[in-house]
Amino acid sequence: MNKLVWTVSHVVSKSVHKLIEEPIKKCMLGKHGRNVHIGHNVTGNLENIYCGDNVSLGGENLFLSSNAKVHIGDNVMFGPRVTVITGDHRIDVPGKPMIAVTEKLPENDQDVVFEGDNWIGANVTILKGVTIGEGAVVAAGAVVTRSIDKYSIWGGFQQENCGIDSKIYLVNPSILLDKKNEKSNGSYTRFRKRRWRETRSVVDCENGSSNHQNKTGCFISL
């Protein structure tokens, strides 16, 4: 009986989302192309989201973009619970609580851009002014604070120097794929995975050593 109730509830929920929620939220977008899928409970400033073709927004995505825009190119997929924040608060007004400061500077709100052919994993947070380069992948749980190169895979959080007393595991240095490989053998996905396995490395912040010079995304080993 419980299984039957769950099945009926699930079917009804999916039908309501497909027939009512998704079409309404598509109309709320600033612009959208063909074949745009919006998951359940996607919230935020949808009027400032501009989508291309073949875009999938995962369930419970949150877009906080009241004063800037989110530009999503073609063939971009978001995992569940991705958060995109295009602004921040001023902390430079003495004698006034931050919550009471309503005047903003131009640098407080900046567009976020997904150039296309991107995969954004679950629970990723992307902050203002970031551009996700074409073909780039962001691993689940990452916090992205600055732009990501084309055809690279990022994970963890980004920082210039590992100034902490713990080991940092480098998920992936920037992998810049030669477009010729994609066009010549038609196996872009397999090539990207092969390069990923070949170039992953470990950064030891205590000793400042690494077997790869281009340190980008990091995971902290707790």
Question: Which domains can be identified in the chain, with CATH numbers?
Answer: 28-150 (2.160.10.10), 162-222 (no CATH)
Check whether 190 has a pLDDT greater than 60.
no
Dump pLDDT digits (tens) for 40-84.
999 999 999 999 999 999 999 999 998 999 999 999 999 999 999
Task: Find tokens 């400061």 and name the residue.
Answer: 101
* 3-state helix/strand/coil string of 144-178: ECCCECCCCEECCEECCCCCCCCCEEEEECCCCCC
Q: pTM (2 decimals)?
A: 0.70
Residues labelled catalytic: 89
Average pLDDT over residues 82-104: 92
Q: What are the tens digits of pLDDT across the range 123-172?
A: 999 999 999 999 999 999 999 999 999 999 888 865 554 443 333 333 44
Sheet holding 36-38, edge to edge: 36-38, 55-57, 76-78, 118-120, 137-138, 153-154
